[in-house]
Structure 1
């Protein structure tokens, strides 16, 4: 076991040394996509549109297969292979080893195509041309079984807010439309979470005048039946909000941040079994709220990436909330992934035990072999003892005086 742990940390150290140590630009309105234990982050801006030219072009990656401290992040710089023009407000999804990037707003709308695909195996970008293009931004993509569900958002040319449901099939590379019957009102900057029953929950958001929407109602889109329904929530209903993050963990939707929130109003959870809102107990160093950030559930953590507007001199670009204990969430700075069951070139413990099944286990073989050897040795000793006894018995008796004389 100690040998496996030692090899694991040597492998971890090698990974850290191999990655380029860079300090990425602070950003919001970016995309974050989790593929094969790596967070791929692209696009965004910060404070002024001028920064879009630089930040929007950056393409960075964080390896989450190894432990890390948020106070010392090891980013991999992929900007030199980025083929996507600087942009904000795009949506992303994954399918296998591929990252799909939809929509968004660029400095020059004519420069950016609607959909890009990044192959993480070959580190290459591909532009995808689809029929029935609809360019939208500031929406939350939910991906399931190779499909991106793209509800609402803003049309990038005239800033009109929509409430249509676009569905992009990442396998057939085609666009289709979902039902609008009983659909929510037009909105953008909302939260969206996919439930285990393949239903998407939509929460809050903003309307055309940037007014935040309430969370006393949530809207459900059934991806199987292509139908909408609404649920009234109860309990400690959060204040109106937009530009927040939402994730699902243990039958609960956890939301964080949003415009206008404070340290005391930033974190809520919605129990999806009864649609009651709760304020979870929190410990650790309480983090200031953000908005236009992104969040992912990775292992036992809610991992929050960048956003607006935090003080980088005292806060990390990455926030970690340990949500493994339903009774108390903990803000932490240390990320610890599960140890791999085996390392490259090492036989897994279970496989090693299975390979010994045809024979007796070592714990059984050792006593048997020891007993057999002991009996064998006793037999040999007994046999030779008998022979020597017989030899001595058959020897003639010689008087003592003859022995003395002979010795002289």
Structure 2
């Protein structure tokens, strides 16, 4: 019997098992050349191999995670095109509700999360579908909403055209973003207002909601538009009637000024005429209605879109179907002076039935109608970076552009960290080798004779 070969094979199998390798037990190796080719790596080589495998696994995991995130973003429900919906801002989330499309009215309910990365060039917008929460609200268009509550975490909904549904029990609702449930507004006292559409709701500093004007939905009314001011106290849950306005109107905008506690009403249409754009202002823009308005931190009101071009051909007809020439105008509420932007191209830009929401310096113009015969509805959200006066720029992402200096600092820091890790690892190996009898080598094989 070969006293050398047998124990050497046993030692070889032990060595392979420690490395988690599997060899066929039926293989018959008969020379020492095979074993010399399987010499153990040195500590430095083993450390390098471990680092390479670690980096490979890290890159693989990050790549898979990125692919999954992109797939999830692409699977987000893209809301269908619409106009005359509502948009309410709560905690940098824009909650969209209802509206009208080619298929008719809808009760779609979803929100756009500004806290997530928004980049229109890299994927779809981060919409979150809440349709299962709005099943009890009839399909509608032309309603109005506003946020209220101590934390401004609830939505107040009023009116709108719900088709055959004209019940007062379906006139006003509330939605809390924590409870995620729509509820009927419970009235303790006061007269419930008539249902209207194309009006605006405003919440003041005391959580009272003001509703002015709007177009009556009930066709039996003797006139088309209301000039009534209805006030709802969200704390006492009662309705009161405030001072009526001078002219019934629809399609205006209402903006609350927190510092002066005033409400600025701009534009509108009623009694077969346009309402004054505003009183006692300098350089006012052309009359309009069905436009939008947002209030900036420096106390400017930005008006976007609207219809109302006046035709001069005889007989003189006031058009309510043609967009205004200048989509973007700005009112300085401190000086009451208007600033006019450069007239926009009408391509892709909604002029009516859209909503505008301001988050920090970004204005989100959502959905609405485009002045076009082949595509009357808009399924896009335009993002504008707001500048001073009447300056603005369309952007496709809400993230700040990368800072080249920060990128250089990051690269330098990564290189220094890598070099530091290598040096520490090398010193650690040298120290370890002092206490290891056979550093980086295979221990000698001791041959035992058979008894």
TM range (shorter): 0.5 to 0.7
Q: How many angstroms apart in 1 are the aligned matches of 2:132 and 2:117?
A: 26
Q: CA offsets per residue over residues 115-136 of structure 1, 9 Å max, x none?
A: 1111211211111232411122
1:329 paired with 2:392, answer: yes
TM superposition score normalised by structure 2: 0.61
Whether the 8 Å contact between 1:149 and 1:168 is mirrored in structure 2 is yes
Query: In 2 relative to 1, CA 207–104 (structure 1 residues): closer, same or farther, beyond 3 Å?
Result: same
Which runs of structure 2 are paired with 1:65-104 in the superposition (5 Å)? Answer: 65-70=115-120, 72-82=124-134, 83-95=136-148, 96-104=152-160
Which runs of structure 2 are paired with 1:186-265 in the superposition (5 Å)? Answer: 186-195=248-257, 196-209=259-272, 211-215=273-277, 218=278, 231-235=279-283, 237-249=284-296, 250-260=298-308, 264-265=325-326
1:150 paired with 2:211, answer: yes
Q: How many angstroms apart in 2 are the aligned matches of 1:114 and 1:188?
A: 18
CA RMSD in angstroms comes to: 3.2
Q: How many angstroms apart in 1 are the aligned matches of 2:395 and 2:183?
A: 38
Please state how far the C-alpha of 1:14 moved relative to its aligned partner. Answer: 6.2
Q: CA offsets per residue over residues 251-272 of structure 1, 9 Å max, x none?
A: 3211110015658511111122
Query: In 2 relative to 1, CA 25–289 (structure 1 residues): closer, same or farther, beyond 3 Å?
Result: closer
Please state how far the C-alpha of 1:214 moved relative to its aligned partner. Answer: 3.6
Higher-strand-fraction structure: 1
The SS at the match of 1:61 is: strand
Whether the 8 Å contact between 2:350 and 2:368 is mirrored in structure 1 is no
Query: In 2 relative to 1, CA 101–287 (structure 1 residues): closer, same or farther, beyond 3 Å?
Result: same
Q: How many angstroms apart in 2 are the aligned matches of 1:194 and 1:20?
A: 38
Q: Radius of gyration: which is bigger?
A: 2
Q: CA offsets per residue over residues 14-33 of structure 1, 9 Å max, x none?
A: 69948961121111111111
Which runs of structure 2 are paired with 1:309-324 in the superposition (5 Å)? Answer: 309=370, 317-324=380-387
TM superposition score normalised by structure 1: 0.67
Q: How many angstroms apart in 1 are the aligned matches of 2:363 and 2:160?
A: 25
Which position in structure 2 is the counterpart of 1:29? 84
Query: In 2 relative to 1, CA 29–313 (structure 1 residues): closer, same or farther, beyond 3 Å?
Result: closer
1:109 paired with 2:165, answer: yes
1:121 paired with 2:178, answer: yes
The SS at the match of 2:274 is: coil
Kindly tell me the number of residue pairs found equivalent between the two proteins.
Answer: 307
Q: CA offsets per residue over residues 139-184 of structure 1, 9 Å max, x none?
A: 011112322110111222136311111111222221111123xx33
Identify unmatched segments of 5+ residues in structure 2. 1-61, 309-321, 402-451
Whether the 8 Å contact between 2:367 and 2:378 is mirrored in structure 1 is no
1:62 paired with 2:117, answer: no
Query: In 2 relative to 1, CA 275–123 (structure 1 residues): closer, same or farther, beyond 3 Å?
Result: same
Query: In 2 relative to 1, CA 287–335 (structure 1 residues): closer, same or farther, beyond 3 Å?
Result: farther
Q: How many angstroms apart in 1 are the aligned matches of 2:399 and 2:232?
A: 35
